[in-house]
Amino acid sequence: MEIVEKINSFLVEEFEVDPAKITPEAGLKETLELDSLDYIDLVVVIENNFGIKVDPVDFIDLVTFQDFYDYVTKRLHSKETA
């Protein structure tokens, strides 16, 4: 669960969102009030915090925070096995 905690921590810091609003079923875009530039920031933050390369196109399918957690976790595991 530490990946989720790390993600939530940098989301709160970077996007100044109330931590109580970040729940697995909450909408990622709506909760963080993301626009196209924010997605770029989010990609950079993920790459800097986790050392994984992210394709911004991957975010099209990410609707909830759980989708986002699963995406980062999957990318981290594929990096470890690569």
CATH code of 64's domain:
1.10.1200.10
How many domains does one find in the chain?
1
CA distances from 62 to 70, 81, 82 (A): 9, 23, 23
pLDDT tens profile 57-67 = 888 899 999 99
Q: Which domain holds residue 8?
A: 2-81
Q: Which pLDDT tens digits describe the chain residue by residue (82 residues)? A: 699 999 999 999 999 999 999 999 999 999 999 988 888 889 999 999 999 988 878 888 999 999 999 999 999 988 777 6
Burial 45-73 (b: 16+ CB within 10 A, else e): bbeeebeeebeeeebeebebbebbbebbe
Tokens 């990622």 locate to: 28
Quick check: 7 and 68 in contact, CB under 8 A? yes
Start-to-end C-alpha separation, the chain: 22
pTM: 0.89
